[in-house]
């Protein structure tokens, strides 16, 4: 993917959090291809460095940073450094999320706290600290990752689904509060995506196929298929898009029921 036109990110500074693997990795590489200086941030620095090297190999500019979204001070320090060293912070994409698949009645308080601390507190920290810098500079785009589980659930997804729904409302509130400063805030809701985190599902053929059949395209998404929507929301092509939830789910949430009426 290389455009440098309406969807281009030439000379922009974009932080991709969770860039060490999966969706974040694909987005970081795509941003580099569109001309951005990409900061590949991840809780594990070694994979982030490897992805930054891949961005450079494809002709982009990149650096790596160790970053835990639960650490608001670390986020503030990174964003402030970029503002000083690079003259601004143009975009932030945040992909980290964890899940404990377990029935609600079996959930422990420790598991609840762990999922909420990454998925919701981490999202809050990213939006607040990126928003603080962007509102002051009066420009920028924040892209948060939610999930189709913000809309539709299944057994064992209680806390994960609750946090992903909360991310949507956090994004909408930030869009309202930051809008007059020219800062846009949006969320992406993927369906089923082949990443290292979903490898256990892929290893179970029946589970994997059941998920494939739930969407209208009858297949899983690749991580690369999340990059285009993220680049769109970061770019000037989405200059009038804010407070939105972009469903990238292969039509999963569009379909209601699977019965094929006669003659159809």
CA distances to 23, 84, 153, 253, 256 from 249, rounded to whole Å, are 14, 38, 14, 7, 14
**Residue numbers annotated as active site:** 160
Residue 228 CA to residue 118 CA, distance in Å, equals: 25
Tell how strand 91-94 and strand 13-17 pair up.
parallel
* Tokens read off for 9: 């990110």
> Taking phi first (over 0 means left), then psi (-120 to 50 degrees means alpha), and beta for anything else, what does residue 87 get?
left
Block residue for tokens 């981490």: 122
Q: Where are the alpha helices (DSSP H) in the chain?
A: 22-33, 45-57, 72-86, 109-116, 122-137, 158-178, 199-202, 205-214, 227-234
List the beta bridge partners of residue 145. 188
Reported as type and span, the H/E element at residue 11 is: none
Specify burial of residue 236 (Cβ count, 10 A radius: 0-12, 13-18, 19+).
middle
**Token representation of residue 2:** 């290389």
Stated length of the chain: 264
């Amino acid at each position: 993917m290389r455009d440098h036109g309406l969807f281009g990110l030439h000379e922009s500074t974009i932080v991709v959090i969770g860039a060490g693997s999966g969706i974040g990795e694909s987005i970081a590489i795509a941003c580099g291809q569109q001309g951005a200086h990409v900061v590949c941030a991840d809780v594990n620095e070694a994979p982030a460095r490897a992805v930054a090297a891949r961005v450079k190999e494809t002709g982009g500019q990149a650096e790596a940073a160790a970053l835990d979204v639960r650490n608001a001070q670390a986020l503030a320090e990174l964003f402030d450094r970029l503002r000083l060293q690079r003259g601004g912070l143009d975009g932030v994409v945040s992909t980290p999320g964890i899940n404990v698949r377990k029935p609600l009645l079996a959930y422990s308080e420790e598991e609840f706290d762990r999922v909420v601390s990454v998925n919701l507190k981490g999202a809050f920290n990213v939006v607040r600290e990126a928003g603080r810098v962007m509102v002051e500079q009066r420009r920028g785009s924040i892209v948060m990752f939610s999930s189709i589980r913000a809309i539709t659930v299944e057994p064992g997804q209680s806390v994960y689904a609750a946090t992903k729904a909360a991310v949507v409302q956090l994004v909408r509130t930030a869009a309202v509060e930051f809008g007059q400063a020219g800062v846009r805030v949006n969320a992406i809701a993927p369906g089923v995506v082949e990443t290292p985190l979903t490898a256990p599902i892929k290893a179970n053929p029946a589970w994997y196929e059941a998920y494939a059949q739930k969407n209208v395209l009858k297949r899983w998404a690749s991580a690369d298929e999340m990059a285009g929507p993220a680049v769109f929301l970061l770019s000037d092509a989405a200059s009038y898009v804010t407070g939105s939830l972009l469903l990238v789910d292969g039509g999963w949430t569009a379909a209601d029921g699977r019965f094929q009426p006669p003659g159809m």
